[in-house]
Amino acid sequence: MGETITPVRERWWKEAVAYQVYPRSFKDSNGDGIGDLNGVTEKLDYLKDLGIDLMWICPMYRSPNDDNGYDISDYHAIMEEFGTMADFDRLLEETHARGMRLILDLVVNHTSDEHPWFLESRASKDNPKRDWYIWRDGKNGAEPNNWESIFSGSAWEYDETTNQYFMHLFSRKQPDLNWENREMRTAVYEMMRWWLDKGIDGFRIDAISHLKKEPTLADVPNPENLPYAPSMVSHLNYDGLLDYVDDICGNVFNHYDIVTVGEMNGLDAVHAEEWVGENRGRLNMVFQFEHVRLWEPQAGLRPTPAVLKKIFTSWQEALEGKGWNALYVENHDVTRITSRWGDTEHHWRESATCIAAMYFLMQGTPFIYQGQEIGMTNTRFASLADFDDVSAKNKAKDLKRMGMSDAEIIAFLTRTGRDNSRTPMQWDSSPHAGFSTHQPWLKVNPNFEMINVENQLHDPQSVLNFYRQMIHLRKREKALVYGRYDLLLDDHEQIYAYSRLYGDERFVVLCNMSGKAAVWDEEALTLEGAQCVLANVAEWEEGYRLRAWEARVYKFS
Ligand code: TEU
Ligand code: CA
């Protein structure tokens, strides 16, 4: 303690609390069972009241919907099911009218195969847009190389018209753009400016780690020995990627007062500063993946506090005084955090709020994914037909081919599937959880009568009210925004504890990440002179003891 702290520059987006909306599942305003933009506008007061300053909305562009909007066929139009451009303009205006900001999802690793650029590109080998995508001849009558798509199967699709294959790292309806092509980049930059000139406040940049491909497109060695898809090794965070990022920033981002967050799978804390260092002039934050580990074999197992401490602390320390980052535990691609790390059976409320305090009060801009603030959980899938996600459907086919039974496949996808976080938002206990008046596009989680916004709004002990209190605490206390992070009780097997130090102020966050009571020694961490400013258990006891999944925040002054 008492060391000098490097001052970090104060910025609105560092003080902001962010919220991610998955529009298809947030709120249906016109009774067709599909969430839409007017539904989001309807709920802006709810978000404002929760304390949200910044909203990231997942793709709402024109799309054939193979990957729920991440396959864009027109960057300048709104998906019909979501509404119109006028609806979007009103959403933006109403967001700004409430003093909140809105960022869009920028999906430029690929387009839809129905995008006019791709239709032209596939038309002939000498089409001017041929080189906007990645085309290759087959090798010995098969795919150009052994890369696998992240959504199963080969990363190449054969196209009869010109007897060549095109690359798709995601679904076969998501052909990858060729970032080596300058004309393509120029067109993409124009599109970005078009939205920024409309007045949006920034972008979350989708799948940015994949923009740069290994130039020789060589086979990946020994794919069967890799813990996950070989594709990820050869085209994830490849050398030269930062040159593309510099080009995007130089041509577009740096000319606007905006916030940018890159989805950066494959980045570790050691290299984080290259991406978000304040002096680098690149991105403001990244969504790193180290704590998510969705695609690793152990997916579904609860990580130990030791592992969480190691990962989070490495990121906090690497960026202290140098750069900023996004904090998150959920999004539309991962399972629900209380199901994944917590204990929905015995300590649902406590574990949901304990995990919240753990990640939210570190240094960085916290993001909340819709429904996380009420402790939504993974759902139940009765049959394979209950899955909607293209990656789940492809995976199911693969597993079936490998000889797995339907029951085994359902169990696997229940544990790992992205549909878990895409079930409709649970607003109240009326039919369809108040999401819609119509049967929703994806089944509502059967626990909606217990877990919903309405039940929690007026219950002071609810997960929702814990989030609200925590958000308002962070807004009051600059130390919780800018203060330095230090890990405490490093070797404790149950408790994740850390402090935030800012000038003379010090906060201590204590989270028992286990289902058993935990004690610690006063010599290791004293609370003398401190005041409890937040707790997830009403009648908390004084002393050096935390109950199962208990979280407390103390202020020293
Ligand atoms: O996800 C991208 C994504 O998950 C990869 O960056 C990741 O590296 C990979 O899945 C495997 O590790 C984004 C969106 O969040 C997701 O919903 C989309 O399906 C995907 O891009 C394609 O646009
Ligand atoms: Ca609708």
Indicate whether residue 22 lines ligand 1 (CB < 6 A).
no
Task: Report the distance separating Cα 436 and Cα 434, nearest Å.
Answer: 6
Q: Are the C-beta atoms of 286 and 326 separated by less than 8 Å? A: yes
Provide the H-helix boundaries in 288-389.
305-319, 337-340, 348-360
Least confident of 28-42, 144-158, 381-395: 144-158
Q: Could you tell me what percentage of the chain is helix, strand and coil, using 3-state DSSP and rounding each to the nearest 5?
A: 35, 20, 45
Specify whether 30 is located in the same domain as 84.
yes
Specify whether 124 is located in the same domain as 24.
no
Enclosing domain of residue 308: 12-110+182-379+446-470
Specify whether 466 is located in the same domain as 490.
no
Active-site positions read 206, 263
On whether residue 304 sits in a domain, the answer given is yes
**Ligand 2 (ion): which residues have CB within 5 A?**
28, 30, 32, 34, 36
| pLDDT band (50, 70, 90) for residue 299 | low
Query: Domain with 517 in it: what CATH number?
Result: 2.60.40.1180
**Which residues in 474-509 are b (16+ Cβ under 10 Å) and which e?**
beebebbbbbbbbebbeebebbbbbbbbbeeebbbb
On whether residue 189 sits in a domain, the answer given is yes
Instruction: Answer yes or no: pTM beyond 0.85.
Output: yes
Indicate whether residue 206 lines ligand 1 (CB < 6 A).
yes
User: What's the mean pLDDT in 9-34?
Assistant: 98
Specify whether 205 is located in the same domain as 245.
yes
Number of C-beta neighbours around residue 254 at 10 A: 13
Specify whether 363 is located in the same domain as 299.
yes
Q: Are the C-beta atoms of 399 and 454 separated by less than 8 Å? A: no
Q: What is the distance in A from the centroid of ligand 2 to the CA of 440?
A: 9
On whether residue 407 sits in a domain, the answer given is no
pLDDT single digits (tens) 92-128: 999 999 999 999 999 999 999 999 999 999 999 999 9
- Torsions phi, psi for 115 (to 5 deg): -65, 140
Specify whether 451 is located in the same domain as 498.
no
Write the single-letter amino acid at 257.
D
pLDDT single digits (tens) 248-273: 999 999 999 999 999 999 899 999 99
Specify whether 195 is located in the same domain as 68.
yes
pLDDT single digits (tens) 348-368: 999 999 999 999 999 999 999
- Closest C-alpha to ligand 1, atom 7: 265
Write the single-letter amino acid at 24.
R
* Atom number of ligand 1 nearest to Cα 208: 6
Specify whether 244 is located in the same domain as 314.
yes
| pLDDT band (50, 70, 90) for residue 541 | confident
Q: Are the C-beta atoms of 36 and 82 separated by less than 8 Å? A: yes
Query: What total of structural domains would you count in the chain?
Result: 3
Q: What is the distance in A from the centroid of ligand 2 to the CA of 423?
A: 15
Specify whether 132 is located in the same domain as 28.
no
Task: Report the distance separating Cα 48 and Cα 21, nearest Å.
Answer: 14
pLDDT single digits (tens) 206-236: 999 999 998 999 888 755 544 444 445 556 8
Specify whether 94 is located in the same domain as 149.
no
Indicate whether residue 207 lines ligand 1 (CB < 6 A).
yes
Percent of the chain surpassing pLDDT 90: 88
User: What's the mean pLDDT in 434-442?
Assistant: 98
Q: What is the distance in A from the centroid of ligand 2 to the CA of 151?
A: 27
**pLDDT higher than threshold 60 for residue 38:** yes
The pick from 204, 265, 418, 420 for probing ligand 1's pocket by mutation, whose C-beta has the most ligand atoms within 8 angstroms, reads 265
Instruction: Give the distance from CA 441 to its chain's centroid.
Output: 22
Specify whether 194 is located in the same domain as 283.
yes
What spatial distance separates the first Cα and last Cα of the chain, rounded to whole Å?
14
Query: Domain with 351 in it: what CATH number?
Result: 3.20.20.80
**pLDDT of 219:** 87
Specify whether 249 is located in the same domain as 361.
yes
| pLDDT band (50, 70, 90) for residue 300 | low
Q: What is the distance in A from the centroid of ligand 2 to the CA of 21?
A: 15
Residue 249: is it exposed, middle or buried by C-beta count within 10 angstroms (0-12/13-18/19+)?
middle
Provide the H-helix boundaries in 333-389.
337-340, 348-360
